[in-house]
Amino acid sequence: MKKAGRIKSWHADKGYGFIDIHADLKDVFFHVTALQTRSVQPRPGDRVSFELTRGKDGRMQALNVRIAGAPKSTVSAGASWLPALVSLAALATIVVGAFGGYLPRQAGIVGILASVVAFLAYYEDKARASRKAWRIPEANLHLIALCGGWPGALAAQHLLRHKNRKQAFQIVFWGTVTLNLGALVLWKAAIAN
């Protein structure tokens, strides 16, 4: 049964919020995955319609949350192939550079292995999120990216639509990419001398 209410609070960095339904019930929890479309960022005061259900913890939560006036979900809300292709091109550049003698050979091997591990870690974390199971800590995902797995992590973020809209996560992620590439440059410079 559809209910209506207004968003009371939204925590974009954590991906959840609460809906005020003007009834005797407490505010209703909703997760970013409950949104029917993610093309519009939820804001306090937005009118919403949703289905009320009980979560695994027994508390009430909202599902199929639709923000009034938001466009319906489209195909473009699916996987984004361009960042995945860019990450594949970056990984190919690192591997070719490593085996061509421009970068240390280990950088190519580590890049491939760490990218595969990163993609699988994101896949597993998304699966755990859908099961509401214990999640892989974000620090572990960032560590894999820092150790050379950022191309696989970038591909996973956009192909699996996981962690690619969480601003705080993205800031740290791009920091790990910068540190990894900087370390590669320094490694090459140290070997050249």
d(CA 21, CA 115): 44
Question: Can you give the residue ranges of every domain in the chain?
Answer: 2-67, 78-192
51: phi then psi, degrees, rounded to nearest 5: -105, 135
> Beta strand pairing status for 60-67 and 47-54?
antiparallel
Q: What is the pLDDT of residues 80-132, one digit of tens each?
A: 788 889 999 999 999 999 899 888 889 999 999 999 999 999 999 988 887 87
d(CA 169, CA 26): 30
CA atoms within 13 A on the CB side of 33: 12
Region 142-162: mean pLDDT is 93
Indicate the CATH number for domain 2-67: 2.40.50.140
Which tokens in the block code for residue 147?
Answer: 């150790």
Q: Please tell me the predicted confidence (pLDDT) of residue 1.
A: 66
Q: What is the pLDDT of residues 51-90, one digit of tens each?
A: 888 877 788 888 888 888 776 654 444 567 888 899 999 9
Q: What is the pLDDT of residues 154-170, one digit of tens each?
A: 999 999 888 888 888 99
- Of 130, 126, 122, 125, nearest to 150 by C-alpha is 122
| CA distances in angstroms from 138 to 9, 124, 141, 161, listed in the order given | 23, 13, 5, 15
- Of 156, 170, 152, nearest to 79 by C-alpha is 156
Which tokens in the block code for residue 137?
Answer: 């800590």
